[in-house]
A and B are shown apart, each in its own frame.
Chain A
Amino acid sequence: MMKIIIILQLAFFIAAAPLLNGLITKIKNNLRLRKGQSIFQPYYNLAKLFAKGEVVSETASWIFKVAPWVVFSATLSAALLIPVFIFASPAHRLGDFLALIFIFALARFFLALAALDTGSSFGGMGSSREMFISGLAEPALCLVIFSLSLQFGSTDISAFSGMHRVSVSSVVAALALFLVTLAETSRIPVDNQETHLELTMAHEAMVLEYSGPSLALLEWSAHIKQMIFFFLIAQIVFPISLPFLGSLVQTSVWVICYLARIMVIAVIVALVEVSVAKMRLFRVADFLGFAFVLGVIASVCAILGV
């Protein structure tokens, strides 16, 4: 049973993650009163990239070559830790919530190295900025985990999925996690996925030298990572504890509710992206500092029991 769920979950993340990105793009475009591309565009992009050739820089070493696979495998491992179809994460013996930070760090480490590998100054720029942003995001993420685990007495992810009520602490923690998510998924106001302007880009600068299937894997990983964060936020602010396997009606209601939560977050992200301007890089420190403070507030609330 567990094996099936693991495979199901991996397949779900691999298959559905691009759709989520397409959805956000579509909502953004509609908010800007544009027709916008199809929500399946990310799939077309991936297919297109897989049909193309690949250019590898002559300066690059094996690090550049393996980085997409490392990023892909680390991101999917992280996806295994998240409870999606059942209340326990399918591989909860693997690690806990804290291990998630370290697994994401593995992916980021290799991507940042690969960015330096080609010798392009764009790559160096992206690498430096990404490590800066994520380095500052880590304490905020840690405090979010802290405040949540204070509520449940454990850092085991299954503990979070077993929760039934929303406390003040959860809401504040979710807000902090939301800010971290914006930073980690390179969204406005921290970064911008849509531009290749050297003054502003961080994540895009790192993957600038990638092309073809390697780029496809990296983009796919970015989609999966985004979905992981969305699921976490959803589970914190909209905890759902309906049984998965019930009557047909029950199950379909559950599935609809389950996916509706993700939709809500997608809409919020899209709203933020169209209504906020991108920050200067050095103001990101304040932004993530604010997330850290929110994490502290969430912890205080958790200690007070509200």
Chain B
Amino acid sequence: MIDPLALFFLAVIFIVSLPSAIYSLGYLKNEYSSAKITLAWVLLVAFVLSMALVVSVSNVLVFLVFWEIMSLLSYFLVVFDTKHEKSIQAGMIYIVMTHIGTAFLIAAFLLMYKYAHSFDFLAIKSACLSMPAQTRNIVFLLLLVGFGTKAGIVPLHVWLPYAHPQAPSHISSIMSGVMIKTAIYGIIRFVIFILGAGSSWWGILIIILALISCLVGIIYALMERDIKKLLAYSSVENMGIILLGVGLALFFQSVNMPYLAVFSLIAGLYHLVNHAIFKGLLFLCAGSVYKASGTRDIEKLGGLIKQMPLTAGFFLFGAMAISGLPPLNGFVSEWLTLQAFFLGAFNTIGGVKLFLGICAGLLALTGGLAAACFVKAFGLTFLALPRSHYAKEAREVALSMKLGMFCLALLVLIFGLAAAIIMKLLARVAGAACGIDIGNMAFFLNNFTLSPQVGRGIYLSVPLLAIWLIVLGVLGFAIYKLFWKGKSVIYKTWDCGYYNMDSRNEYTATAFSKPFRIAFSFFLLPYRKTQKIRDSFYHVKSFAYETHTTLIFKKYIYDPAIALVLTTAKAMRRIQPGSIHLYLGYIFITLLLLIIFIHQF
């Protein structure tokens, strides 16, 4: 079904996939054999097509088929680097999780079919009107778990930090930038568009889960030292921010505030396209770093801004955008999301106001932590001295890779500066998805104001802000140039008089995140191991220090669950001793039971 919603998602898919494809020209070269490169291209094209079809079909059954094709193709792309042991393991986790999600989706779709007697979207939409509230709730929950697995909502996020980093970087970029967004498409299409407004707890549930995803995602990202894994965890966070917009939209719809619903959905969709762009960009940059240096470990990098100035510049752009800094695109969508909370609070009563306010506060916390996370990611990867020979030997990447990154970096800027125009377009998409006429809502060029129904006009003009930033920056520069007549000397960094400072004196990623590790120790459960090796009682020869954080979702949810499955499987094995007589017996007994069953009921 090609409606504005589908068109929007198609646009997102191609905006990120095309630069990634250009990038892959240089990325795949010299990395894989020519047969594998061909395979990579076939898989890439098929993968992008499957995503495009997922968002444009209008039949549930066909949707499921393409959904499954998309999942399988991305599985093959995750395990593409077969030489890595980790790829196989990551692929395994991914395929299991994604199928658990699909199982929930099938359950939801069958339940819908029971009422609609058709697989067509519109038929289901009209049938959903007469669905009893209880069933609607069940369908909603099934859809939430199903799509939530793909979207990487905590605690269903476990596969994401394994699968995304393991794929080749241009695929990571498409997976994190676009593929997980199809889950948001699913939620908007099936919950907001087809199921329609339900109870108000639907929206609140999504908001709470989204906030947990935001915080958990960014805290884990802060602790991470593998640059691609860091980006994957940050995707969990950003999916949370997108879902905040979606959840708010659902909530406002259920309390009959259509304008706010549209506004929140605009915020969510805006962040969706922004995240697709800057996360795509960041993954491409991380891929360049990996290709140039051969490592993804931030602790071993450093100083790359000198050898790879362009990649560094592009990464800085992405890092600024994802931290929500003006005048780039992330700033606009985070501002809109916060504004959606505030506007919601102005128009609701009592406890809901407080709830929305606290949520906004926690979202601001996420923003602060994200900025810290990306100061770490950029600062330790690209600045100061190289920490290992990997970083020393890194050289700037091929032209096609630079071109791919450049396209996305340009989009980061455009989507920041042209916010007013993009908001107008998104209003149409959001209006169509919510089934609301947006004709009465006013969106002015160069600033956004909401219709009078939702309070006073609020202004934000990104181009104006950009101009002021530049003008005042020039003022600072002018003061510097006009009043200063001194000389600039290049000299060593102050090293407290050692005169022997090297990269070992630098702050590391682990050190950078230490205050956060201590502040959030109730959640991260860090533990450390110190070991002194002495050659005599008085002299310590060497000192080993190790610190880890505990992945509580893995330890307390997934590990016990996997253990349970394995013990059950072991117990089941007893009825399968390999004797054909026994198996014939089973068949006979089953047959008997079935005959009895048919006669009895």
Contacts and interface: CB of A to CB of B under 8 A. Distances in A.
B476 interface: yes
Given A56-B489, A127-B379, A282-B518, A154 B368 contact: no
Contacts of B353: 150, 299, 303
Interface in B437-481: 446-447, 455-461, 464-465, 468-477, 479-480
Contacts of B371: 105, 108-109, 131, 134-135
Contacts of A54: 484, 486-489
Nearest to A281: B515
Interface in A153-185: 153-156, 159
A119 B383 CA distance: 8
Given A128-B511, A128-B512, A208 B494 contact: yes
A116 B379 contact: yes
Given A73-B472, A80-B468, A128-B511, A146 B361 contact: yes
Interface string A124-141: 110111011011111111
A77 interface: yes
B585 interface: no
Nearest to A66: B473
Interface string B342-354: 1001100010011
B320 interface: yes
A2 B465 CA distance: 16
B459 A282 contact: no
Interface of B is mostly: helix
B324 interface: yes
Contacts, number: 289
Interface stretch (A23-31, A57-65, A240-248, A267-275): A57-65
A146 B357 contact: yes
Contacts of B459: 92-96, 156
B480 A213 contact: yes
Interface stretch (A45-53, A187-195, A256-264): A45-53
Interface stretch (B31-39, B330-338, B533-541): B330-338
A102 B326 contact: yes
B372 A135 contact: yes
A109 B514 CA distance: 18
A255 to B, nearest CB: 26
Contacts of B475: 72-73, 76
Contacts of A94: 459-461, 464-465, 468
Contact of A150 (B357, B358, B379, B489): B357
B506 to A, nearest CB: 5
B139 to A, nearest CB: 34
B472 A138 contact: no
A78 B385 CA distance: 34
Interface in B4-50: none
Contacts of B501: 119-120
Interface string A72-108: 1110110010000000000111111011011101101
A93 B464 contact: yes
Interface string A23-47: 0000000000000000000000000
B169 interface: no
Given A94-B461, A96-B458, A57 B326 contact: no
Interface string B81-117: 0000000000000000000000000000000000000
Contacts of B595: none
Nearest to B479: A217
Contact of B458 (A70, A134, A154): A154
B484 A212 contact: yes
A117 B519 contact: no
B222 to A, nearest CB: 9
B324 A102 contact: yes
A153 B477 CA distance: 39
B361 A295 contact: yes
Nearest to A58: B490
B199 interface: no
Interface residues of A, number: 90
A93 B461 contact: yes
Contacts of B514: 128
A228 interface: no
B122 interface: no
A147 to B, nearest CB: 7
A230 interface: no
B553 interface: no
Nearest to A142: B364
A99 B324 CA distance: 10
A223 B339 CA distance: 29
Contacts of B306: 61
A209 B489 CA distance: 13
Contacts of B508: 124
Contact of B354 (A69, A109, A300): A300
Contacts of A18: none
B503 interface: yes
B354 A63 contact: no
A290 to B, nearest CB: 14
A8 to B, nearest CB: 15
A294 to B, nearest CB: 12
B378 interface: yes
Contacts of A186: none
Contacts of A69: 473, 476-477, 480
Contacts of A303: 350, 353-354
A19 interface: no
Contacts of B303: 59
Contacts of A108: 371
A199 interface: no
Nearest to A292: B361
Contact of B342 (A95, A149, A281): A149
12 contacts: A63-B383, A69-B473, A77-B465, A93-B447, A109-B320, A119-B385, A120-B505, A127-B507, A128-B514, A131-B372, A146-B345, A282-B515
The 6 closest A-B pairs by CB, nearest first: A124-B507, A135-B368, A142-B364, A119-B384, A73-B473, A72-B476
